[in-house]
Amino acid sequence: MSGANEVTAKQLAHILGVGPSYITQLKGEGRLVRTTDGKRYLLAESRRLLAETADPAKAGVAARHAAARGAAVALETSSTASEPDDAEAPLAPAQDDPLAKRRALAQAQAEEARARKLLRDEAVELGQLLPVDEVRSAIADAVTAMRADLDNLPAILAPQLAAEQDEDRVRVILRDAIEHIEREFARKAAAIAKEETR
C-alpha cells in the first residue's frame, strides 16, 4: 500500500470528522482495516468497510457530515500524513466541544425541518394534504349554507305540515327535508375536497 493510504488513529479521526474515542470504538467493533504491522490504518479500505457496515438508519446523518467535510478531506490527508508516530499511542476520549454540539444539533434540526417541509409539499402536490386556511374557509362556507337551509326550513315546511292531518306523514316530510339538507352539505363537502386537490 502507498504511504498516503496509511494513517494514524488521530489522522483517521480528523479525516472522518469524528473524535478519537469513536475511532477506538470502531476498532473494537472490527470496522477498521489496520496495516500489517498493526500500527496504522488503511484509509481507503477502512472507509470501504465502514460504508459496508454502516447502519442504514443513520445514512442521512453520515451524508450530512460527508457533505460538510467536502473536498477538505483530501487536503487534510496529505497535510497530516507527516505527523509523528506518537499519535498512535492509546488515546484518551476527548471532551466534546459544546459549541460543536450546539452547531450539530442546530444543523440536524434544520435538516429535519427541511425534510418535513418537503414531505408536506409533496403531500399537497399529490392532493393528500390541504392548506388549513383554505379548508377552514370552505368548511365555514358549507356550514353557513347548511345553517341557512335549516333556518329556512320552518318557512318552507309550515304550509305543508299545517295541511297534513296524519302524524306519520308529518314525520316523513320532516325527515325528507332534513335528509335533503344533509345530502346538500355532503355534496358541498365532496366538491370542496375535489376542488382543493386539483
> pLDDT tier at 65 (50, 70, 90 boundaries)?
low
Do 41 and 34 touch, CB atoms closer than 8 A?
Answer: yes
Instruction: Report the distance separating Cα 43 and Cα 112, nearest Å.
Output: 31
Q: If residue 113 lies in a helix (H) or strand (E), which one and from where to where?
A: helix 98-125
If you ran DSSP here, which 8-state letter would residue 128 be given?
S
User: Residue 8 pLDDT > 90, yes or no?
Assistant: yes
Q: For residues 89 and 103, state if they share a domain.
A: no
Q: For residues 50 and 85, state if they share a domain.
A: yes
pTM greater than 0.85: no
Q: For residues 29 and 89, state if they share a domain.
A: yes
Instruction: Report the distance separating Cα 66 and Cα 16, nearest Å.
Output: 8
Q: For residues 66 and 40, state if they share a domain.
A: yes
Domain ends where: 49, 76, 95? 95
User: Residue 63 pLDDT > 80, yes or no?
Assistant: no
Number of domains the chain is built from: 3
Q: For residues 118 and 173, state if they share a domain.
A: no
Do 3 and 9 touch, CB atoms closer than 8 A?
Answer: no
Q: For residues 27 and 79, state if they share a domain.
A: yes
Q: For residues 146 and 80, state if they share a domain.
A: no
Provide the residue range defining the domain that includes 106.
96-129
Q: For residues 28 and 54, state if they share a domain.
A: yes
Instruction: Report the distance separating Cα 132 and Cα 178, nearest Å.
Output: 29
Q: For residues 15 and 35, state if they share a domain.
A: yes
Q: Read off the pLDDT of each residue in 47-55 and give the average, rounded to a whole number.
A: 85
Q: What pLDDT shows up at residue 40?
A: 92
